[in-house]
Chains A and B, each alone.
Chain A
């Protein structure tokens, strides 16, 4: 039967091994995969300012991006492709709550420049290689 010291060895050994593998895989992802999959060369000042605005206003508190967020408002990874620049800017710059089908968005009333930054961020996000996410609908209505 398993002794206490064997159990401890299992815990410490298992942890050390899996953690080492995890660090190795993480390193590989960050060095070899992220630059190519996320088009790191396209991260210009506009995109970075857009990301800062995205965080500063907690957009993730309602929307999702890369599937991460709060599911109260639409997934925005492909919004640039889906809605186009004009629609996105109208929603961002609106002085009254944007409320398609009655569900309200905070009326941020962003400036033209801020809206452009956010559009740049969303356009960049739309081009990231997400291993096939979001899936294409495949059932006929």
Chain B
């Protein structure tokens, strides 16, 4: 790192991986419940586990993004963060809101709208928190010496993510309207502005890791985020097929969501091409693994598997089945989980001064988590296709179908164990780095003489 205030990123990363481990725990609770072992039902019913699992996902990814922004913006703007203490306060208050929300979910206190379960009073606290975060980032950028494209794309993604949270806070009497605007948040986040954030982080990593000229990387960054919005905004239509709005969305949503993989394909080609074009080889091999990994897995999980069931003719049958869970898991892991991991892997040696660039544990963490997640995706996929056929095609009763599917959840839990082992190894490596050190400031400059 170059600036002392970048150290705050470390604490965001630590909080993120802590919440990830909690998320995985709740995932196991649901996996077992689906196998028929729901011993915790009285204390943690499925809807509690589900809301906790998905909300922890959103929160840890956001913490990862925020940490990355606190690391990237000072370097790109060439100055210390304004108000470092406020950044720490922002982290602590964000975690407090999260903890209160999760305790609430165990006490039937929530707003049961898929992914946006946080109750309204806490929503306002989230808004204040995110405004504080944005205030620090944007002021730093404004006062900085330089405003790079990478920093602007990242900041724009964060700003729009905050703005798009608001439509989810409007009350509607009509379930269709409620659903319509809920997707403005959920879809336009994950298939819109989050891709901007991902693109910004990816560009920063590629500039650092490959040494390719910034102008070249940033030009392609524009193309990628351009493709994202070109396809993703109207691609929102794939959530509007069957919720009570008109048939025009079948056409618009169908065509544009079929184009959505293009942005991810461009991202994968871009990352690989920059890696091959780059003349320097950064010694942080693991960061390179994760960076190329995220580009490829995002294309597979978010791009291809999403495309597989996005046409209205297909979605008519797969909508509201485990096929969605198949796509959801690899998409979130590949695109957003892995980009956060890439960044943490890149940043840790720079923050702490310990150069654990290529360790056995680190390698195992990468391969086990990724192979485990691919296995989980396959288990969900098989269960989903079987569910579609039995329930939607032959009309077998829901509960009877679910009993037929139990065996697939055994496979899910098995592969999830592999995934979790990878994550545990990653966490062990994280703690081996120790805490951020002042001596690490400027250490990257020495590195330039090594490679």
Contact = CB atoms under 8 A, between A and B. Distances in A.
B208 interface: no
Interface in B320-355: 320-322, 324-325
Interface string A123-139: 00100111111111111
A18 B47 contact: no
Contacts of B176: 34, 37-38, 66, 128
B49 to A, nearest CB: 8
B169 interface: no
Given A71-B322, A72-B50, A15 B392 contact: no
Interface in A11-58: 11, 14-15, 18-19, 21-22, 25-26, 28-30, 32-34, 37-38, 40, 43, 47-48, 51, 54-58
A7 to B, nearest CB: 4
Given A128-B176, A137-B394, A101 B403 contact: yes
Contacts of A7: 219-220, 222-223, 226
B320 A15 contact: no
A128 B114 contact: no
Contact of A103 (B38, B105, B244, B317): B38
A66 B246 contact: no
B233 A19 contact: yes
Interface string B241-266: 11111111110100010000000000
B442 interface: no
Interface of B: 30, 33-34, 36, 38, 41, 45-48, 50-51, 105, 108, 110-114, 117, 149, 173-180, 215, 218-220, 222-223, 225-226, 229-230, 233-234, 236-237, 240-250, 252, 256, 316-317, 319-322, 324-325, 387, 389, 392-396, 398-400, 402-403
A43 B105 CA distance: 29
A10 B226 contact: yes
Given A15-B230, A34-B176, A72-B33, A139 B50 contact: no
A74 interface: yes
Contacts of A125: 175
Contacts of A54: 112
26 contacts: A4-B218, A4-B222, A11-B225, A11-B226, A14-B229, A15-B230, A55-B111, A55-B113, A58-B47, A58-B111, A62-B47, A65-B175, A68-B114, A69-B114, A70-B46, A70-B50, A72-B34, A74-B399, A97-B41, A103-B402, A106-B41, A106-B47, A130-B242, A131-B250, A134-B392, A141-B394
A61 B175 CA distance: 15
B244 A129 contact: yes
Given A7-B219, A7-B222, A54-B112, A75 B398 contact: yes
A14 B226 contact: yes
A100 B399 contact: yes
Contacts of A57: 108, 112
A51 B50 contact: no
A34 B398 contact: no
A60 interface: yes
Given A61-B47, A97-B41, A128 B113 contact: no
User: Nearest 3 CB-CB pairs, A to B?
Assistant: A61-B47, A58-B112, A137-B395
A139 B238 CA distance: 26
Interface of A: 2-4, 7-8, 10-11, 14-15, 18-19, 21-22, 25-26, 28-30, 32-34, 37-38, 40, 43, 47-48, 51, 54-62, 64-75, 97, 100-104, 106, 121, 125, 128-141
Contact of B244 (A3, A55, A72, A130): A130
Contacts of A66: 175-176, 179, 242-244
A31 to B, nearest CB: 11
A20 B227 CA distance: 16
B349 to A, nearest CB: 31
A8 to B, nearest CB: 5
Contacts of B47: 58-62, 70, 72, 106
A12 B174 CA distance: 34
Q: Which residue, of A34, A55, A71, has the highest number of chain B Cβ atoms within 10 A?
A: A71
A25 B248 contact: yes
A69 B225 contact: no
Given A2-B223, A129-B244, 15 more contacts: A15-B229, A25-B252, A33-B245, A34-B245, A37-B176, A48-B173, A58-B108, A60-B112, A75-B398, A103-B399, A106-B45, A128-B244, A132-B242, A136-B395, A140-B394
A125 B250 CA distance: 20
B139 to A, nearest CB: 24
A43 B416 CA distance: 44
A133 B241 contact: yes
B399 to A, nearest CB: 4
B236 A40 contact: no
Contact of B48 (A18, A25, A61, A130): A61
B275 to A, nearest CB: 20
B136 to A, nearest CB: 26
A73 B395 CA distance: 16
